Amino acid sequence: MSNEQQLSLFEDSSIDSNDQKELIPKDAKIPIPTGTYANMTELAQHCNQCHRCGLGKTRTHAVVGRGNLKAPIMVVGEAPGQTEDETGLPFVGKAGQLLEKILASVKLDTETDVYICNINKCRPPDNRVPTIEEMDACKPYLLEQIRLVDPKIILFVGATAVKGLTGDKRAISKIRGEWMEWDGRLCMPIFHPSYLLRNQSREVGKPKWLTWQDIQAVRAKFDEIHKNQ
Ligand code: SF4
């Protein structure tokens, strides 16, 4: 018997890979291997029927993402709020409008330059922060989104986004504006726009002013990458 034939005896023929794929939205213990989804439509179908964590019970829509599916910049936030849950689109409430303004201030267009998504695809009740278990259950979808979009730069919007993807638990005030590398990609944490809505001062050193510095650094890096391509 050849080596290949011997090795094939190890395989469990009762598990069909298509059946395994269909189990993904049912249980967080079912892995989502790299390359599971051929495109974002397939991934969104699973998210909309998903109960890998308890947030699936109360959602109206899963909020997968919006923007350019091949964008050079990916924005990763925390989780959908009420408007996002109702519309199925991320960052469309007041905080989302401010995010659009922040990006537009350095001429970044959300339809061409950016893809926007969240760590969790379903809204946590009362907009609470998602738990570690909820973030871990949803993370494989995000990893697939990152693989499909393949951005050059990831913008982490708020501390939960950083923690959910990289496990880094430092306060956003300590790490915002600093380039970090994750999975070979350049990442920049910035303040969440909802925090900026509560801190409106534009004085030097205040969160809004700091965010203006950060987004200019992102624009400069974006131009540098573009120039070297
Ligand atoms: S938050 Fe993510 S893991 Fe939880 S039910 Fe929604 S899509 Fe599934």
- Residue 11's SS3 state is coil
Distance (angstroms) between ligand 1 centre and the Cα of 226 equals 35
Is the residue at 78 inside a domain? yes
Nearest-CA residue for atom 7 of ligand 1: 47
Bridge partner residues of 173 (DSSP): none
State whether the beta carbon of 138 lies less than 6 angstroms from ligand 1.
Answer: yes
Residue 126 has pLDDT above 90, yes or no: yes
Residue 14 has pLDDT above 80, yes or no: no
Nearest-CA residue for atom 2 of ligand 1: 138
Residue 17 has pLDDT above 90, yes or no: no
Is the residue at 145 inside a domain? yes
Which of 10-19, 97-106, 109-118 is predicted with the least confidence, judged by mean pLDDT? 10-19
State whether the beta carbon of 155 lies less than 6 angstroms from ligand 1.
Answer: no
Is the residue at 4 inside a domain? no
pLDDT band at 16 (very low <50, low <70, confident <90, very high): low
179: domain CATH number is 3.40.470.10
Is the residue at 114 inside a domain? yes
Domain housing 67: 16-227
State whether the beta carbon of 52 lies less than 6 angstroms from ligand 1.
Answer: yes
Q: Which atom of ligand 1 is nearest to the CA of 59?
A: 6
Average predicted confidence (pLDDT) for the chain: 93
Nearest-CA residue for atom 4 of ligand 1: 53
Output the CA torsion sign for 181, 184, 190, 192: negative
Residue 4 has pLDDT above 90, yes or no: no
Bridge partner residues of 186 (DSSP): 153, 181
Residue 228 has what pLDDT?
87
pLDDT band at 229 (very low <50, low <70, confident <90, very high): confident
State whether the beta carbon of 192 lies less than 6 angstroms from ligand 1.
Answer: no
Residue 151 has what pLDDT?
98
DSSP, residue by residue, 91-134: S-SHHHHHHHHHHHTTT--TTTTEEEEES-SSPPGGGPPPPHHH
**What is the tally of structural domains in the chain?**
1
Residue 145 has what pLDDT?
98
Is the residue at 183 inside a domain? yes
Distance (angstroms) between ligand 1 centre and the Cα of 52 equals 6
State whether the beta carbon of 51 lies less than 6 angstroms from ligand 1.
Answer: yes
Is the residue at 1 inside a domain? no
Is the residue at 9 inside a domain? no
- Residue 129: other Cβ atoms inside 10 A: 16
pLDDT band at 162 (very low <50, low <70, confident <90, very high): very high
* 94-104 helix and 207-227 helix, angle to the nearest 10 degrees: 50
Q: Which residue in this structure is represented by tokens 């070297």?
A: 228
State whether the beta carbon of 119 lies less than 6 angstroms from ligand 1.
Answer: no
Q: Which atom of ligand 1 is nearest to the CA of 51?
A: 5
| Pocket-testing residue among 61, 134, 136, 144, ligand 1, by greatest number of atoms within 8 A of Cβ | 134
Instruction: Please tell me whether the overall predicted TM-score, pTM, comes out greater than 0.85 for this model.
Output: yes
Nearest-CA residue for atom 5 of ligand 1: 56
Distance (angstroms) between ligand 1 centre and the Cα of 135 equals 8
